[in-house]
Amino acid sequence: MYPKIFFLLLLLLLLNACGKKEQQNAQTTPKPQKTVASAPSSVPQTPPSDSFLIRDVDHRSTRIEFRGDWVLFHKIRQPIVALTFFSSWCAPCRGMLPYLGDLQKKNRQDLFLIGVLVNDDLNDTSLRDFMHRYEAPFFISNAPDNDALGERVARECNLSENYPLPLTVIYKNGKYVMHIAGAAPYEMLQSLIDQLKEKKD
Protein backbone atom coordinates (compact mmCIF):
# COMPACT_ATOMS: atom_id res chain seq x y z
CA MET A 1 0.00 0.00 0.00
CA TYR A 2 2.86 2.33 0.77
CA PRO A 3 5.75 0.91 -1.31
CA LYS A 4 8.55 3.09 0.05
CA ILE A 5 7.77 2.00 3.57
CA PHE A 6 7.85 -1.76 3.01
CA PHE A 7 11.54 -1.67 2.10
CA LEU A 8 12.25 0.24 5.28
CA LEU A 9 10.27 -2.31 7.28
CA LEU A 10 12.84 -4.93 6.34
CA LEU A 11 15.36 -2.93 8.35
CA LEU A 12 13.25 -3.49 11.44
CA LEU A 13 14.09 -7.17 11.39
CA LEU A 14 17.55 -6.16 12.54
CA LEU A 15 16.27 -4.00 15.39
CA ASN A 16 15.75 -5.36 18.85
CA ALA A 17 12.45 -5.03 20.64
CA CYS A 18 11.66 -5.65 24.26
CA GLY A 19 9.33 -8.51 25.03
CA LYS A 20 6.53 -7.77 27.45
CA LYS A 21 7.80 -7.93 31.01
CA GLU A 22 6.26 -10.69 33.10
CA GLN A 23 3.58 -9.40 35.42
CA GLN A 24 5.11 -9.10 38.89
CA ASN A 25 1.86 -9.57 40.71
CA ALA A 26 -1.25 -11.54 39.99
CA GLN A 27 -3.65 -8.64 39.96
CA THR A 28 -5.06 -7.67 36.59
CA THR A 29 -6.92 -4.43 36.64
CA PRO A 30 -9.16 -4.12 33.63
CA LYS A 31 -6.71 -1.83 33.43
CA PRO A 32 -5.78 16.89 23.16
CA GLN A 33 -7.14 18.86 21.76
CA LYS A 34 -10.43 20.60 22.54
CA THR A 35 -11.95 20.17 19.09
CA VAL A 36 -13.98 16.97 18.86
CA ALA A 37 -13.59 15.19 15.55
CA SER A 38 -16.89 14.02 14.14
CA ALA A 39 -17.06 10.46 12.89
CA PRO A 40 -17.11 9.99 9.11
CA SER A 41 -20.66 9.41 7.87
CA SER A 42 -19.76 5.89 6.79
CA VAL A 43 -18.80 4.84 10.34
CA PRO A 44 -21.46 2.51 11.76
CA GLN A 45 -23.42 4.39 14.42
CA THR A 46 -23.84 1.34 16.63
CA PRO A 47 -22.66 0.99 20.24
CA PRO A 48 -18.91 0.45 20.38
CA SER A 49 -17.66 -3.10 20.77
CA ASP A 50 -14.65 -1.85 22.72
CA SER A 51 -14.02 1.51 24.33
CA PHE A 52 -10.97 2.68 26.29
CA LEU A 53 -10.50 5.89 28.26
CA ILE A 54 -6.92 7.11 28.36
CA ARG A 55 -5.46 10.15 30.12
CA ASP A 56 -2.11 11.85 30.45
CA VAL A 57 -0.25 13.24 33.47
CA ASP A 58 -2.06 16.58 33.07
CA HIS A 59 -5.40 14.73 33.22
CA ARG A 60 -6.29 15.47 29.62
CA SER A 61 -8.26 12.51 28.34
CA THR A 62 -9.59 10.96 25.18
CA ARG A 63 -11.68 7.89 24.44
CA ILE A 64 -10.67 5.33 21.83
CA GLU A 65 -13.52 3.25 20.40
CA PHE A 66 -13.26 0.26 18.10
CA ARG A 67 -16.27 -0.06 15.81
CA GLY A 68 -15.79 -2.83 13.30
CA ASP A 69 -13.02 -1.69 10.94
CA TRP A 70 -13.07 1.85 12.31
CA VAL A 71 -11.27 3.35 15.29
CA LEU A 72 -12.68 6.59 16.68
CA PHE A 73 -10.34 8.94 18.56
CA HIS A 74 -12.48 11.42 20.48
CA LYS A 75 -11.21 15.00 20.99
CA ILE A 76 -8.51 14.54 18.36
CA ARG A 77 -8.74 16.60 15.16
CA GLN A 78 -5.60 15.44 13.31
CA PRO A 79 -6.24 12.86 10.56
CA ILE A 80 -3.19 10.71 11.45
CA VAL A 81 -2.98 9.08 14.87
CA ALA A 82 -0.04 6.97 16.04
CA LEU A 83 -0.24 4.82 19.16
CA THR A 84 3.13 3.85 20.59
CA PHE A 85 3.01 1.24 23.35
CA PHE A 86 6.09 1.27 25.59
CA SER A 87 7.45 0.60 29.08
CA SER A 88 9.96 2.59 31.12
CA TRP A 89 12.18 -0.49 31.59
CA CYS A 90 12.47 -1.10 27.81
CA ALA A 91 15.77 0.29 26.42
CA PRO A 92 14.61 0.54 22.74
CA CYS A 93 11.50 2.36 23.98
CA ARG A 94 13.58 4.90 25.90
CA GLY A 95 15.80 5.44 22.86
CA MET A 96 12.79 6.13 20.65
CA LEU A 97 11.01 8.67 22.89
CA PRO A 98 13.09 11.80 22.12
CA TYR A 99 12.61 11.58 18.37
CA LEU A 100 8.91 10.79 18.78
CA GLY A 101 8.71 14.17 20.46
CA ASP A 102 10.46 15.73 17.44
CA LEU A 103 8.08 13.90 15.10
CA GLN A 104 5.06 15.31 16.94
CA LYS A 105 6.44 18.87 16.88
CA LYS A 106 7.21 18.77 13.17
CA ASN A 107 3.82 17.31 12.18
CA ARG A 108 1.51 18.84 14.77
CA GLN A 109 -1.13 19.83 12.17
CA ASP A 110 -1.50 16.32 10.75
CA LEU A 111 -0.33 13.91 13.46
CA PHE A 112 -1.47 13.21 17.01
CA LEU A 113 0.98 10.93 18.77
CA ILE A 114 -0.19 8.96 21.81
CA GLY A 115 2.34 7.19 24.00
CA VAL A 116 0.68 4.37 25.96
CA LEU A 117 2.58 3.17 29.04
CA VAL A 118 1.92 -0.57 29.47
CA ASN A 119 3.02 -3.29 31.87
CA ASP A 120 4.50 -0.66 34.15
CA ASP A 121 3.71 0.86 37.53
CA LEU A 122 4.90 4.46 37.28
CA ASN A 123 2.67 6.96 39.03
CA ASP A 124 1.98 10.32 37.39
CA THR A 125 4.82 12.08 39.24
CA SER A 126 7.36 9.43 38.24
CA LEU A 127 6.06 9.42 34.67
CA ARG A 128 6.37 13.21 34.45
CA ASP A 129 10.02 12.95 35.59
CA PHE A 130 10.61 10.13 33.09
CA MET A 131 9.11 12.22 30.26
CA HIS A 132 11.37 15.14 31.15
CA ARG A 133 14.47 12.92 31.31
CA TYR A 134 13.77 11.35 27.91
CA GLU A 135 12.49 14.55 26.24
CA ALA A 136 9.03 13.23 25.46
CA PRO A 137 6.74 16.29 25.50
CA PHE A 138 3.71 14.64 23.89
CA PHE A 139 0.51 12.97 25.11
CA ILE A 140 1.51 9.91 27.16
CA SER A 141 -1.27 7.95 28.77
CA ASN A 142 -0.93 6.54 32.26
CA ALA A 143 -4.44 5.18 32.70
CA PRO A 144 -6.01 1.96 34.04
CA ASP A 145 -7.26 1.11 30.51
CA ASN A 146 -3.73 1.12 29.00
CA ASP A 147 -2.94 -2.59 29.34
CA ALA A 148 -6.36 -3.65 28.04
CA LEU A 149 -5.99 -1.23 25.12
CA GLY A 150 -2.58 -2.74 24.29
CA GLU A 151 -4.03 -6.26 24.28
CA ARG A 152 -6.95 -5.14 22.07
CA VAL A 153 -4.65 -3.45 19.55
CA ALA A 154 -2.25 -6.41 19.55
CA ARG A 155 -5.14 -8.73 18.61
CA GLU A 156 -6.08 -6.39 15.75
CA CYS A 157 -2.47 -6.61 14.53
CA ASN A 158 -2.46 -10.43 14.82
CA LEU A 159 0.13 -10.29 17.60
CA SER A 160 0.14 -12.32 20.80
CA GLU A 161 -0.70 -10.73 24.12
CA ASN A 162 3.06 -10.76 24.82
CA TYR A 163 3.63 -8.38 21.92
CA PRO A 164 7.09 -6.76 21.53
CA LEU A 165 7.81 -3.25 22.73
CA PRO A 166 7.87 -0.64 21.48
CA LEU A 167 4.85 -1.23 19.26
CA THR A 168 3.71 1.64 17.02
CA VAL A 169 0.32 1.43 15.29
CA ILE A 170 -0.67 4.07 12.74
CA TYR A 171 -4.18 5.09 11.67
CA LYS A 172 -5.46 7.63 9.17
CA ASN A 173 -9.02 8.94 9.38
CA GLY A 174 -9.87 6.11 11.74
CA LYS A 175 -8.55 3.34 9.47
CA TYR A 176 -5.60 1.11 10.29
CA VAL A 177 -2.54 1.77 8.08
CA MET A 178 0.24 -0.37 9.54
CA HIS A 179 2.07 -1.39 12.70
CA ILE A 180 5.77 -1.52 13.51
CA ALA A 181 7.03 -3.92 16.18
CA GLY A 182 10.33 -2.68 17.55
CA ALA A 183 12.11 0.64 17.43
CA ALA A 184 11.46 2.43 14.13
CA PRO A 185 14.00 5.02 12.88
CA TYR A 186 12.90 8.66 12.79
CA GLU A 187 13.47 8.87 9.03
CA MET A 188 11.19 5.92 8.40
CA LEU A 189 8.38 7.35 10.51
CA GLN A 190 8.70 10.80 8.92
CA SER A 191 8.66 9.27 5.44
CA LEU A 192 5.49 7.38 6.28
CA ILE A 193 3.82 10.50 7.71
CA ASP A 194 4.77 12.47 4.58
CA GLN A 195 3.23 9.81 2.34
CA LEU A 196 0.05 9.73 4.41
CA LYS A 197 -0.22 13.53 4.29
CA GLU A 198 0.07 13.47 0.48
CA LYS A 199 -2.34 10.58 -0.04
CA LYS A 200 -5.91 11.74 -0.67
CA ASP A 201 -8.54 9.44 0.78
Count Cα neighbours of 82 within 13 Å in the Cβ-side half-sphere: 26
Task: Determine if residue 122 is left, alpha or beta; phi over 0 gives left, psi from -120 to 50 gives alpha, anything else beta.
Answer: beta
What percent of the chain is modeled with pLDDT above 70?
A: 76
Residue 29 located in a structural domain? no
Q: What is the dihedral of CA 37, 40, 41, 44, to 10 degrees?
A: -100
Domain with 166, as residue range(s), is 48-198
Q: How does pLDDT run across 38-47, given as a tens digit for each residue?
A: 445 455 454 4
Residue 134 located in a structural domain? yes
Instruction: Provide the pLDDT for residue 157.
Output: 94
Q: Considering the chain, what is the average pLDDT of its residues?
A: 83
Q: How does pLDDT run across 132-155, given as a tens digit for each residue?
A: 999 999 999 999 999 999 999 999
Is residue 106 within 8 A of residue 74, CB to CB? The reply is no
CATH code for the domain in which residue 162 is found: 3.40.30.10
Residue 58 located in a structural domain? yes
Instruction: Provide the pLDDT for residue 2.
Output: 53
Which whole-number Å values give the CA distances from 117 to 8, 140, 194, 199, in the listed order?
26, 7, 26, 30
Q: How does pLDDT run across 92-125, given as a tens digit for each residue?
A: 999 999 999 999 999 999 999 999 999 999 999 9
Tally of structural domains, the chain? 1
Pick from 90, 103, 110, 170: nearest CA to 135: 103
Instruction: Provide the pLDDT for residue 201.
Output: 65
Residues with Cβ within 8 Å of residue 187, at least 6 apart in sequence: none
SS3 18: strand
Residue 42 located in a structural domain? no
Residue 139 located in a structural domain? yes
Q: What is the mean pLDDT of residues 36-63?
A: 70
Residue 37 located in a structural domain? no
Q: What is the mean pLDDT of residues 22-47?
A: 42
Is the pLDDT at 183 greater than 90? The verdict is yes
Q: How does pLDDT run across 149-176, given as a tens digit for each residue?
A: 999 999 999 999 899 999 999 999 999 9
With 0.85 as the threshold, say if the pTM is over it.
Answer: no
The neighbouring-strand residues paired with 167 are 85, 181
Residue 162 located in a structural domain? yes
Give burial (CB, 10 Å; 0-12/13-18/19+) of 24: exposed
Is residue 136 within 8 A of residue 115, CB to CB? The reply is yes
Q: What is the mean pLDDT of residues 83-96?
A: 96
Is residue 114 within 8 A of residue 97, CB to CB? The reply is no
Higher pLDDT, 33 or 43: 43
Residue 115 located in a structural domain? yes
